Structure 1
């Protein structure tokens, strides 16, 4: 991506920007950058429109979201052509994004009315049964979404769909590297009959800060370092955040695993989208008994991969030369410390931001490829002697997004899975937790805060909880007001203590 300015100022994100394809250098399109000073006015317009959107209720909003899903399906080819032009993806990588969003939208259209319905809660003590307790889920007016560049459709809409379903307005700040796809998604929302509750803010850091300052909730996806800065900025106004951050996702291959399946999964999980996936396989721990067999199978599979943008290729370009440089640095560091590259290990030949698929062995935790997020097409594989060693090394990371365990014994695999410190674990598969729309997706440690999407949590995260307590009878609480004589207080405290201890006494026996 290159940014040019009509005004020729020092800030490259003013005026009009030119977006180029990292695979070919061809111009993908132009974008008008948002003036950070205008973001407050955009947010104010969203705040006004949101009131009517909330008033439609879940059923009314579901109809609009369903029409939008139909539009996305009908325009899938157009969206994928733009994805390839803007990111240099292969066709197979570009083809994954719209279907994921259709799955998420379909799930919420079916379940949002129930998930957002007011909930009745029982009284904690018998004498409070005269009260009717109802919990309401009220949408936050404006949700700011700061989305990354690796999946311009999926990472923007998996958050936006949930916020819109909850009744919020959405202020979307796509990555300055991939702003064009967001323009197309907004066009689709309007063509599908969506009201003015979805708007864009195009730019870099200054625009992101303005979005944070003018939103009621922030969903950020990106690096852990930037996520900390987002949270710090949001804290100035006590704005709640949900952060889906970096990962260094481990895979553990036990000695009883289907080795060919594990190898296929490792290669796909590491190389999909050129490794530019938060839940990609970034390191593998293989039990000694099957290590050699696994490495041979991985090398065999990698040798079949065709690298290039568009049709007929396994994966495409990295987003830019900066990302290539990170991969080069990690590989060079590993090789300098004794690792061996069985495939790749070099930048792709010719022009474009390509890097060859690289399998690294003889690796350990002194190497950056095992400890820092690479976000490139590398697959470091480490030999381990025991399951305990594999678990210890997998958990030896500041990250905790997701993981994978391979074993033919599913009970054993699950026992290993629940020892891993991360938000999700796939057994005999990789990345599939992203397709499980009924379950929340999120990370532990520096991989994030809160659930990204999935289940009722993916909607309720965008809501404020309002508890309404109403009388069930005409008998009010007035008899207790200011009834603070010593005898009355003693009687009330004795009664409350006895009632409150009924259940603990039963459980303690």
Structure 2
């Protein structure tokens, strides 16, 4: 197969239809298989060493607090330093591996993950509290990232060979993109496979080596990915797996003089802290560290009076409450033109009330939030919301031996209210009215974030205006504001939503490379 064919044949992994009995049964069987493996003690991976530490991270099922998913060994600064030395040493050989070979590792991993797709999804159902569709989409995106970035590396390799520079007689000028070095990869818990896989494989296929520090609430699914990469033969030391405390291990590596880049996805607060720490120059550091950051969002949906109100209401509810609102792209606010505001409030309230809550493994539409800290934070915001708006749905804890909260909707919320401005990262939706579509867009833009948004209208002139004036990295028309597809909808936002690094886009791998110009006199 030629390089050109490789590059052009990318297609997104299809989602599984769990309304089909055979697909649902297959997932139930995968959950049973994965459950039989729970409770293991899992090691760090530093080079070819698997290290079990006395200190452990205990991962539990957020839907059933009595069930332990696994006991994850926990790195300290000494082990982080060991991992750094291993990554530095490995980089000297890995950077010389041809691009096609690096890409082949990702193709092999994608093929193997596809064969075991339900098992990876089942682990997320149990460890992260995702229902079948959310977990399946997460695994599909992980597969997409690997195949897309493999093909992007092949494309970049072609560019290195044929970069169109202005010709100069008597000189041979070439511009090539070379890897950066050792990077720290810090993925989030809410897409514990897809984003972890995407961030890690983008860095390594570009020729870098990494220290992967997964989220402490979902380390077992990250370990499953690392084990897969080892199984397909990725050289030891390319990915070094070091779960640990952000305050101890994360800060230490962020400030390390040999760290060349940090790839982070998470909250605004942590992202800004990493930015500050990375900006300082440590003794012996000879570069400015590069930060690739995707942070928070206060995303919203704008609805005008010409819109399909049923479609708009369905999109609002899906965007707000998919995976319990635990997405940086979640539509946690909606701004509706006042002439149709009562109808939208009624429709959203009715649709929200239909969402049943229960065990993700039984595929309920709504499950738990991730942990006790999030649970308490979200409940605090609900109490704030009761002082800032009119409660029309939810508003309480939900039954179950887990972190269950009712999908909650507040109407008549002021544009400056806390629940309209602050990222809650839970199943809480604020509704606000506007006199017309232009004021609605103005209210939408009145935020420090700028990640995703949606505009519902049947008026082409208004749609054109919204496309130009709604300020966010990913804007959708007449559809929900969650669910970006790799390759089709590169993902990343403005302002406090991050560095607008477009994951799943054609310029993403360039963030993990540096351009080198060579000029030779003929």
TM-score computed with the length of structure 1 as normaliser: 0.85
3-state SS of 1:183 partner:
helix
Alignment partners' CA distance in 2, 1:462 and 1:452: 12
Of 340, 346, 358, which residue of structure 1 is paired with 2:408?
358
Task: Call closer, same or farther: CA 1:40–1:91 in 2, change over 3 Å.
Answer: same
Is residue 433–residue 441 contact of structure 1 (8 Å, CA) maintained in 2? Answer: no
Aligned to 1:219: 263
Aligned to 1:448: 498
Aligned to 1:152: 192
What CA deviation, in whole Å up to 9, does each residue of 1:41-68 have, x standing for no partner?
Answer: 2122122223333323221112110110
Unpaired runs of at least 5, structure 2: 1-40, 42-52, 282-287
3-state SS of 2:163 partner:
strand
What CA deviation, in whole Å up to 9, does each residue of 1:195-250 have, x standing for no partner?
Answer: 22111111112111233224211011111111111011112243110111110001
Task: Call closer, same or farther: CA 1:439–1:53 in 2, change over 3 Å.
Answer: farther
Aligned to 1:257: 307
Structural mapping, 1:48-447, within 5 Å: 48-116=89-157, 117-118=159-160, 120-123=163-166, 129-196=169-236, 197-204=238-245, 205-212=247-254, 213=256, 214-237=258-281, 238-308=288-358, 309-337=360-388, 339-410=389-460, 412-431=462-481, 434-438=484-488, 440-447=490-497
3-state SS of 1:374 partner:
coil
Aligned to 1:504: none
TM-score computed with the length of structure 2 as normaliser: 0.83
Aligned to 1:32: 73
Alignment partners' CA distance in 2, 1:180 and 1:349: 26
Task: Call closer, same or farther: CA 1:106–1:387 in 2, change over 3 Å.
Answer: same
CA positional deviation for 1:382: 0.9
Moved more, 95-104 or 289-298: 289-298
Unpaired runs of at least 5, structure 1: 5-12, 474-509
CA positional deviation for 1:371: 0.6
Is residue 414–residue 427 contact of structure 1 (8 Å, CA) maintained in 2? Answer: no
CA positional deviation for 1:34: 0.7
Task: Call closer, same or farther: CA 1:410–1:470 in 2, change over 3 Å.
Answer: farther
Task: Call closer, same or farther: CA 1:92–1:436 in 2, change over 3 Å.
Answer: closer
Aligned to 1:476: none
Alignment partners' CA distance in 2, 1:91 and 1:122: 50
3-state SS of 2:104 partner:
helix
Alignment partners' CA distance in 2, 1:354 and 1:115: 46
Alignment partners' CA distance in 2, 1:326 and 1:87: 18
Is residue 148–residue 486 contact of structure 2 (8 Å, CA) maintained in 1? Answer: no
CA positional deviation for 1:303: 2.1
Moved more, 25-34 or 321-330: 321-330
CA positional deviation for 1:389: 0.9
Q: Size of the alignment, in residue pairs?
A: 458
Moved more, 242-251 or 91-100: 91-100
What CA deviation, in whole Å up to 9, does each residue of 1:308-361 have, x standing for no partner?
Answer: 222231121111122122222222122223x11211011112431111011110
